[in-house]
Chains A and B, each alone.
Chain A
Amino acid sequence: MAIKINLPVSESDIRKLKVGDLVLLSGVMSTGRDAAHKYIMENHPDFIRKYVKDSLLYHCGPVVKQDETGKWHFVAAGPTTSIREEPYEAHVIEEYQLRGVIGKGGMKDKTLAALKKFGAVYFHATGGAAASQGKAVVDVLDVFLLEELGVPEAFWIIKVKDFPVVVTMDSHGNSLHDKIKASSDKVADKLIGD
């Protein structure tokens, strides 16, 4: 059974989550990927603060369309690979009081330590399932730096409804990615041999 979480969410609720939990997320968050992390580290923008505090940053570069009234809609919106943000994410979690990030592929030790210290989790969304995920984005509230960063890299402020994710790194120091890496390394070492 999936756990339903409404955003913004409290630190204590986030700390209840464990690796392997299936979660349906609802509420407001911001997208932010490579150029967004660079921009955050250099400019510490205030415009996303109220949207991401006690909420999430989603590693996603969507396909969007604009209707005749000028309103934006998400067409396809799956996660991008998170590991590229490893050098920055711990800082972003601390500065913006995030309760987590959504991405794919998992992250490493520096982020895992920040999740534990500040009370946040890594939510894994299924890569390549973008058509379904686009449907879970029910509203686009705003967009920042669209012109400067382009469609995939802009900060999109979105509202999601029952967006499906799995907790793969929790606030207790556990990572599914580390576990699978260790077990697959054992098999690979044996296959490769001397």
Chain B
Amino acid sequence: MTFDKEKMKAAFLQQIKLAATSLPQETEKALILARDSEEKGSVAENIFIQLLENVEVARDQAIPICQDTGTHIHYIYYPVGMREADIKEAVIEATKEATAKTYLRPNAVDPVTGKNSGNNIGTKNPQFHFHQWDNDYILGKLMLKGGGSENVSTQYKLPDTKLHAGRDLEGVRKVIIDAVRNAQGMGCAPGVLGIGVGGDRGSSFITAKEQLFRDLFDESDNKEVAELEKRLFKEINTLGIGPMGFGGNTTVMGVKIGMAHRVPASFFVSIAYMCWAYRKASVTIRPDGTVEYKN
């Protein structure tokens, strides 16, 4: 089976364009619900109207929804017999072109020299998570995660003395509420929370980010976790932080919790805060050359 490199590049380019310029329908639906939950004529309602207008302009004119086109997180599933390096090369070439076409801002800065690479390519940029699978096609999932929301993302270790948070789901609940109140509007509220419970520090954060690939209106397969997601969604939306932190009824649009087994000594809770401009898109590339996009 062969996958043409140029065709792959074109498919990844379209995926990047979609992710950067077209907000997923489910997120737009959540923003409409949020707008309708605010008082008529309030500043909060006005912000949601502005956000929804911006979503439309961005989609119609293929302009980035947000100028911070973020870290590019690629999860790529590929068939047995394919070279990872070929896919990587196609994504890198697509990324360079997407930057030149201004779907992406040049966002890769060398932390030692302070130099911006100018094309989004750099050490560990874009970010790749490759998984081989038994299907005969490629599935690429891409999330663009802005720096403002990443800066308010955080990690706790339980127990937490100050919050009286113990090593159980009740402790998990407490630290998540604390994280949102600390974030205020700075992560571009209303956010979506990806939560990783357990793991080591690294896998805990990866678990948290992976939750953000879930559908916004789904719920966890684990009944206890699903209950906690629902409870936190309700409770956090009573904080009154609202869009941009201006006050309002919607502080989060979703709470998504995943878990990883932990060692007995560690109990991490990682919170990956995603801004309202919750940008993701997936692409399926089949061996017969057909390509499908979803976002």
Interface residues of B in 43-59 (CB under 8 A from A): 43, 46-47, 50-51, 53-54, 57-58
Is B159 at the interface (CB under 8 A from chain A)?
no
- Across the interface, do B68 and A150 meet the contact criterion of CB distance under 8 Å? no
- Residue of A with least CB distance to B101: A65
- Across the interface, do A180 and B245 meet the contact criterion of CB distance under 8 Å? yes
- Across the interface, do A180 and B241 meet the contact criterion of CB distance under 8 Å? yes
Chief secondary structure at chain A's binding surface = mixed
Contacts of A75 in B (CB 8 A): 63-64, 67, 102
Is B61 at the interface (CB under 8 A from chain A)?
yes
Nearest CB in chain B: distance from A121 CB, A: 16
Assuming A80-B68, A134-B63, is B50 touching A126 (CB within 8 A)? yes
Which of A8-16, A109-117, A181-189 lies at the interface with chain B? Answer: A181-189
Is B284 at the interface (CB under 8 A from chain A)?
no
Nearest CB in chain A: distance from B90 CB, A: 23
Contacts of A149 in B (CB 8 A): 114, 116
Nearest CB in chain A: distance from B172 CB, A: 12
Return the contact of A164 from the options B50, B114, B241, B245 (Cβ within 8 A): B50
Chief secondary structure at chain B's binding surface = loop
Assuming A75-B63, A80-B148, is B174 touching A192 (CB within 8 A)? yes
For chain A, which range describes its interface: under 10, 10 to 19, 20 to 34, or 35 or more residues?
35 or more
Is A129 at the interface (CB under 8 A from chain B)?
yes
Is B198 at the interface (CB under 8 A from chain A)?
no
- Across the interface, do B105 and A61 meet the contact criterion of CB distance under 8 Å? yes
What are 23 inter-chain pairs, A to B, with CB distance below 8 A? A20-B43, A35-B114, A63-B105, A65-B102, A75-B64, A76-B58, A76-B102, A80-B68, A80-B147, A105-B184, A106-B185, A127-B148, A128-B146, A129-B54, A130-B58, A130-B67, A134-B67, A152-B116, A166-B246, A180-B242, A180-B245, A191-B238, A194-B164
